[in-house]
Structure formats: C-alpha cells, structure tokens
Amino acid sequence: MPRINVTSVMVDDQEKALAFYTETLGFVAKTDVPVGEYRWLTVVGANEPDGVELLLEPDAHPAAKVFKRALVDDGIPFASFAVDDVTAVYEDLEARGVRFAQAPTPMGPVISAVLDDTCGNLIQLTSPA
C-alpha cells in the first residue's frame, strides 16, 4: 500500500522558509541538496527524524503564486500540523511575533489555530479538544 513519505508546502524563499520552519516552529532540517537554482530542502518533526518529510518547495511556477494568493485571500490553510496543545503553542508563537489569522478555535473534536508562515501560506495547527 502507498504511504506518505514526503509532502510539500510551496514557499517564496527557501532560506526564509527553512529559518521559520526550524527556528520558529521547531522542525529539524533533514535533506538539503542543490537542484539547479533551488534545493531539495526538507524538514521533519523534531521527535520524528524518520517521519514524513516536509519539502520546502519553491513556488517559482506562476500558477503556484496565484494558487497560494487565492488560498490566503480566502483564509484557507495550505497545510495542517498536529500539536499537543494548540492554545499553548499559539501563546508561545504569538509572544515571539508570529502572526495568526485565526486564534485557537474549537472545531468539534479538535482545537484549531491558523498562522502565517511568512512564506506566502496559512498553516493550520490542531490538537484534540
């Protein structure tokens, strides 16, 4: 059966994305291989070194920029990440200057918050309610 080993988030600047996803969100760099003018640049969860890799994919294709802008304009997150306690993570990240499009909000079985990843995306964080 297929399984997910890499998924991606399209970013406007790979270096800025790497800094945000590692230094701010706490992911760990996994793979960094030059590929032409860009890089195959992945991060993983700090406690999951062999887990699903998040590819910080350049949004160089013109359609990617239009797609991302439409999602942001409509308030739709590009990706969703699980955390143990959304409210605690929200308070920590907000205190460190992360901009949120949605504060922690109960949504049935989960609590959800939505942040701006500084690279052109809204990212949803969820934890059990």
The residue ranges of every structural domain in the chain are: 6-128
Average pLDDT, integer, range 101-107:
98
pLDDT in tens, 15-68: 999 999 999 999 999 999 999 999 999 999 999 999 999 999 999 999 999 999
**SS3 category, 95:** helix
CA distance 41 to 56: 6
Q: Are strands 122-128 and 79-82 parallel, antiparallel or unpaired?
A: parallel
Q: Which fold has domain 6-128?
A: 2,3-Dihydroxybiphenyl 1,2-Dioxygenase; domain 1 (3.10.180)
**SS3 category, 93:** helix
Q: Which residues, 6 or more positions from 102, have their beta carbon under 8 angstroms from its beta carbon?
A: 75, 112, 113, 114
Q: Could you tell me the pLDDT band of residue 11, with boundaries at 50, 70 and 90? A: very high
97 φψ region: left (φ > 0), alpha (ψ -120 to 50), beta (else): left
Q: Could you tell me the pLDDT band of residue 99, with boundaries at 50, 70 and 90? A: very high
Check residue 16 and give its pLDDT: 98
pTM of the model: 0.95
CA distance 10 to 59: 5
